[in-house]
Amino acid sequence: MTAYPFDNLPSMSKEKALQILKTPIDELKISSDYYKAVFHLLKYPGLQTEDALLKLLKSNSEEKSVQLAKRKAVEVLARLGSQKSINEIGKCLDSKDLFLVENAAWALQKLGCKDSALHLRMIQLLDEPKYNRRALVQCLAELEVSTSIIKIKEILKGTKSPRLRGACIAAICRLCGEKSCLDEIGDQLLTSNQTDRYLAVQDVINSKDPHLLESVVKAPVALSFRMRAVEEICNSVEDNSRKIDPIKILDQLIMDHPSNIILLHSYDFAPSIEFLVNELFEIDCSRSYLALSNLIKESPNKLWPVISSFWEEFKSDYSAVYFLTILFRYVQGWNHSQIKEIEDLIIFLLSDSWPEHMKFRPAAVVTLMKINSNLGMKNIPRLLDPKVCLFWPTRYSALMSIDFFLPIIHYPDVRDLIRSSQDDPNKFIRCRAGLILDKYN
């Protein structure tokens, strides 16, 4: 079981984890062992695991290490789908630990809690500003607790916090269909604070309404957030073909040309190439897209000396290397030796050296197919196999790249690969495969 995409903790057996949780806190060599044990138990679903975690939740210890482990325990129980844990998790809503309360609410939402008494308790918690009311509102909306509408509207009327307002607006839209304030979330998609932009994307997703999907597609946030918005909203809207074209949107997203992004910044000076390349490492996506929009206008001869001086930094920065793969795709005229280094980098990005869900992998597929479709096709079969390539955007990207960069009419064997994608577990990939085959039938 792949429990965590980024599991960097030392491995631990189920037996070891269970033994640690049986050990009194004052007998542990390292107090954080409780947390580590809980963390690893996600990999070992079953009654023993659930019982051990429930016993931990019943602990009255005020030790910080125990409190931290309890926060993790409610999360793990929820991710394991432990329905028998709902009652004990519900008791955590009364904890003095505000973070445990928040985690408990999320866990109840994850488990699809239908206990009206626990719903009422979460509604009551909304009266206390000390709690994370944004998270509570989101949980109540996800659980479709219609009795919370009055309280959520009351909060919306009384708060000026954009983050709390966004959650309330999304919840009201979802619970009773009122859309009058949705444009307020749209404004937050373009706010100067990147965290607020990400939260606004989540609000759009939570609303389950396609009204703002076009705005999300153009928002200066990471591609993974925009892709998730498209996926979740298209999956939740009935007969969405009349309202949105998910394939057209997904193609545009994966190609991710900076001209399709609304940029929030500008330069009041003539930036050097070195400055622009440095900007690709910025945390704020808007600044990175602005730099990218300028860099793609430069020639390879001017770009390469600067890029090569940052080569090792790019290889260890998953965000910056994402923008670099796009840069390689849209700049024309790389020489043979430069292309060879670019190809080696792309193959490295598509290797097992990285977790499956890295956001640069779909971009890397497109760039490889554009600069060397023959080399790209050597990788395409495994990238289209859902048993090998678990990240659906990478499989979609591989399929789209065949359509865009390969003259399929001259490659009859490729059609069999495309036909196999019609059985892919992801509906967008099945649809994309069908569209490609229709072109050549």
CB-side neighbour CA atoms (13 Å) of 202: 19
Residue 7's pLDDT band (boundaries 50, 70, 90)? low
Q: Amino acid letter at 62?
A: E
Residue-wise pLDDT tens digits, 45-99: 999 999 999 999 999 998 999 999 999 999 999 999 999 999 999 999 999 999 9
Residue-wise pLDDT tens digits, 272-302: 999 999 999 999 999 999 999 999 999 999 9
Predicted local confidence at residue 326, as pLDDT = 97
Across residues 132-145, what is the average pLDDT? 98
One DSSP character per residue, 257-306 reads: -GGGS------SS---HHHHHHHTT-S-HHHHHHHHHHHTTS-HHHHHHH
What is the average pLDDT value for the chain, to the nearest integer?
93
Predicted local confidence at residue 53, as pLDDT = 97
**Residues 323 and 223: beta-carbon distance below 8 Å:** no
- Of 420, 356, 367, nearest to 392 by C-alpha is 356
One DSSP character per residue, 120-160 reads: HHHHHHTT-TTS-HHHHHHHHHHTT-GGGHHHHHHHHHH--
Report domain extents, the chain: 114-241, 273-439
Share of the chain above pLDDT 90, in %: 86
Predicted local confidence at residue 238, as pLDDT = 62
What are the angstrom distances between the C-alpha of 7 and each of 12, 65, 78?
12, 20, 19
Compute the distance between CA of residue 12 and CA of residue 275 in angstroms, rounded to an integer: 45
Predicted local confidence at residue 242, as pLDDT = 52
Q: What is the CATH number of domain 273-439?
A: 1.25.10
User: Does the structure show a pLDDT above 80 at 8?
Assistant: no
**Residues 294 and 266: beta-carbon distance below 8 Å:** no
| Of 230-239, 332-341, 415-424, minimum mean pLDDT range | 230-239
